């Protein structure tokens, strides 16, 4: 029978090979699912992963989708390293968009050099407030952050619906559930004229690099890693767990809020009832695919952004519902987690009679 056997050390090879193996297995499994649905597997995988990039605006669409995923994924990789399970980044994203968007709606005539920075600050603070509340409830009341952060995501979504169907609804909007368009001065500055390539696309990798330095090269980062890997050791070393929980939630919440603000000012230009196409859960996969390493999160964010574009393409070209993206992402996370057993273990074939001999 096949046996799992401890290696006794961490395999360097599998540290990098395990996510690659997970990706290959995900591709193969998805192909089988497509075949079961009566579609040619090769064509579907091509439509999903390659065709979106060959379109004229393919690269632009990719980086625009990847920027929020990278920002949120970087924050989560930091939090998960410290065993702080923020899974409600969707709510922090939305609250950031609400706070920043509210300023844009309140001061449409403010000059751009005041308005946009104020919105960025408001959006980030909004996300931090939402994340900070979760941290406070965990520290002060011992409330599980997984459940509270997710409940806040639902609550924030209803708050958004209330605002855009109620007090913030565009009076000239023919009753559609959306706010007025932001003024031009409230839109994120573009890196390339007449595209959606906004400043967030530059910001996301810079944030990732900055947090990589913090995590890998600073004392604070060391404390994060120890807290996650050996909680008791962190306590003996005198690291203050509560302080690290605060920092993890404020950073991951603040980055999600910033991502939300940049999403509404970079692509949508107004608030509507749905701002996040499930970025919150996708960012979790981005963090794990990036091995909870901020630098790894950059390619991981690009890849998962591609699955969103692929879902749209599969819907248009092949008539598949774009929920396919969700299945693909779920399978990928299963394989990523499962393949990691190869880090510390190996599979060995043990003939079944060996048991009797021993």
Partner 1 sequence: MTALLVAFLVSTIAASTPLLLAATGELIVEKVGVLNLGVEGMMLAGAIAGFATANQTGITSLGVLAAVAAGIALSMLFAVVSLTLQANQTATGLALTIFGRGFSALVGAGYVGIPAPTLPKIHLPVLSDIPVLGPVIFGHDILVYLALAILAVVAWCIRSTHLGLILRAVGDSHDAAHALGYAVIPIRYAAVAFGGALAGLAGAYMSLAYTPLWAQDMTAGRGWVAVALVTFSAWRPFWLLIGAWFFGALMYLSLYVQALGVAVPSALLSAVPYIGTVVVLVLISRDARRIRLHRPAMLGRPFQARV
Structure tokens at 214: 């913090």
Q: How far apart are CA 344 and CA 336, in angstroms?
A: 14
Q: Which stretch binds partner 1 (CB under 8 A): 16-24, 112-120, 239-247, 332-340?
A: 332-340
Q: Of residues 9, 113, 158, 349, which one binds partner 1 by CB under 8 A?
A: 158
Pinpoint the alpha helices (H) of 142-240: 145-165, 200-217, 219-229, 231-236
Reported as half-sphere exposure (CB side, CA atoms, 13 A), residue 276 has a value of 31
Q: How far is the CB of 186 from partner 1 (least distance, A)?
A: 25
Q: Which stretch binds partner 1 (CB under 8 A): 103-111, 212-220, 233-241, 277-285?
A: 277-285
Torsion angle (degrees, nearest 10) of CA 170, 68, 144, 155 = 10
Q: In angstroms, rounded to a whole number, what is the distance separating the alpha carbons of residues 128 and 246?
A: 10
Rule CB under 8 A: say whether 343 interacts with partner 1.
no
Cα gap 126→254, rounded to integer Å: 7
Which of 180, 214, 199, 230 is closest to 295 using CA atoms? Answer: 214
List 143, 191, 202, 318, residue binding partner 1 (CB under 8 A): 143
For helices 12-36 and 324-339, what crossing angle results, to 10°?
150
Distance CA 180, CA 167 (A): 12
Q: What is the DSSP letter of 190?
A: B
- Quick check: 249 and 135 in contact, CB under 8 A? yes
Least Å from the CB of residue 115 to partner 1: 28
| 2 vs 191: CA distance, rounded Å | 54
Given 288, 297, 303, 308, the residue binding partner 1 (CB under 8 A): 288
Rounded CA separation 232/354 (Å): 39
Residue 39 CB neighbours (<10 A): 18
Out of 159, 181, 199, 214, point to the residue binding partner 1 (CB under 8 A).
159
- Residue 333 found at the interface with partner 1 (CB under 8 A): yes
Q: How many residues does the chain have?
A: 358
How are beta strands 2-6 and 345-349 bridged, if at all? antiparallel
Please say which residue, 200 or 310, places its beta carbon nearer to partner 1: 310
Neighbours of 141 (CB within 10 A): 8
Contact call for residue 9 and partner 1 (CB under 8 A): no
Write down the least CB distance from residue 194 to partner 1, Å.
35
Residue 141 binding partner 1, by CB under 8 A: yes
Q: Which of residues 301-330 bind partner 1 (CB under 8 A)?
A: 321, 323-330
User: Which range of residues in 98-106, 118-126, 142-150, 183-191 is near partner 1 by CB under 8 A?
Assistant: 142-150
Nearer to partner 1, 133 or 180 (CB): 133
Of 57, 217, 338, 350, the one binding partner 1 (CB under 8 A) is 338
**Which residues, numbered 75-114, are part of the site for partner 1 (CB under 8 A)?**
80, 85, 87
Count residues contacting partner 1 (CB under 8 A)?
A: 44
Q: With binding defined as CB under 8 A, does residue 46 bind partner 1?
A: no
Nearest CB to partner 1, comparing residues 148 and 196: 148
**How far from the centroid of its chain's Cα atoms is residue 159's Cα?**
22
Among 245, 264, 284, 313, binds partner 1 (CB under 8 A): 284
Confirm or reject binding of residue 150 to partner 1 (CB under 8 A).
yes
Q: Which residues sit at the interface with partner 1, rule CB under 8 A?
A: 4, 6, 80, 85, 87, 137, 141-144, 146-148, 150-152, 154-155, 158-159, 161-162, 165-166, 281, 284-285, 288, 321, 323-331, 333-334, 337-338, 340-341
């Amino acid at each position: 029978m096949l046996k799992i056997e401890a290696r006794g050390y961490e395999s360097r090879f599998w540290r990098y090979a395990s996510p690659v193996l997970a990706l290959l297995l995900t591709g193969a499994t998805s192909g089988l699912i497509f075949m079961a649905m009566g579609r040619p597997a090769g064509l579907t995988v091509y439509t999903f992963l390659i065709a979106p990039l060959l379109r004229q605006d393919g690269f632009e669409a990719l980086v625009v989708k990847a920027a929020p995923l990278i920002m949120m994924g970087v924050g989560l990789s930091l939090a998960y390293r410290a065993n702080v399970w923020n899974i409600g980044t969707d709510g922090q994203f939305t609250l950031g968009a609400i706070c920043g968007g509210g300023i844009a709606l309140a001061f449409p005539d403010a000059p751009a050099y005041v308005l946009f920075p104020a919105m960025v600050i408001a959006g980030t603070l909004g996300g931090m407030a939402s994340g900070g509340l979760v941290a406070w409830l965990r520290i002060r009341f011992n409330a599980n952050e997984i459940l509270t952060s997710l409940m806040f995501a639902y609550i924030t979504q209803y708050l958004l619906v209330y605002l855009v169907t109620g007090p913030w609804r565009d009076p000239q909007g023919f009753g559609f559930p959306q706010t007025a368009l932001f003024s031009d001065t409230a839109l994120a500055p573009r890196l390339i004229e007449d595209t959606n390539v906004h400043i967030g696309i530059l910001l996301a990798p810079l944030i990732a690099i900055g947090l990589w330095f913090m995590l890998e090269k600073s004392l604070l980062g060391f404390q994060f890693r120890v807290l996650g890997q050996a909680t008791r050791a962190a306590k003996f070393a005198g690291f203050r767990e509560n302080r690290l929980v605060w920092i993890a939630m404020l950073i991951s919440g603040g980055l999600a809020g910033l991502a939300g603000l940049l999403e509404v000012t970079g692509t949508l230009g107004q608030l509507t009832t749905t701002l996040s196409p499930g970025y919150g859960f996708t960012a979790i996969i981005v963090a794990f695919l990036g091995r909870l390493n901020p630098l790894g999160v950059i390619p991981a964010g690009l890849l998962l952004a591609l699955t969103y574009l692929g879902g749209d393409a599969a819907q248009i070209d092949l008539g598949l519902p774009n929920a396919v993206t969700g299945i693909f992402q779920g399978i990928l996370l299963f394989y990523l987690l499962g393949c990691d057993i190869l880090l510390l273990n190996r599979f060995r074939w043990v003939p079944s009679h060996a048991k009797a001999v021993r």
